[in-house]
Amino acid sequence: MKSDIKELNYAYLVCLREAANEDIREASVRFGVDQALLRQISSAPLLQLQELADPSFLVFKLRAPEAVRSHLNNRDGSLVRAVVSMVTEASE
Which tens digit of pLDDT belongs to each residue from 31-70? 889 999 999 999 999 999 999 998 888 888 766 666 666 6
Residue 61 φ then ψ, to 5°: -120, 130
What is the rounded distance in angstroms from the CA atom of residue 74 to the CA atom of residue 33? 28
Check pLDDT > 80 for residue 90: no
CATH of 2-91, one of 3.10.560, 1.10.4000, 2.60.60, 1.10.8: 1.10.4000
30 neighbors 90 (Cβ within 8 angstroms)? yes
| Average pLDDT value over all residues in the chain | 81
Q: Where are the domains of the chain?
A: 2-91
Direct distance between the N- and C-terminal alpha carbons of the chain, in angstroms, rounded to an integer: 27
52 neighbors 70 (Cβ within 8 angstroms)? no
Residues in the chain: 92
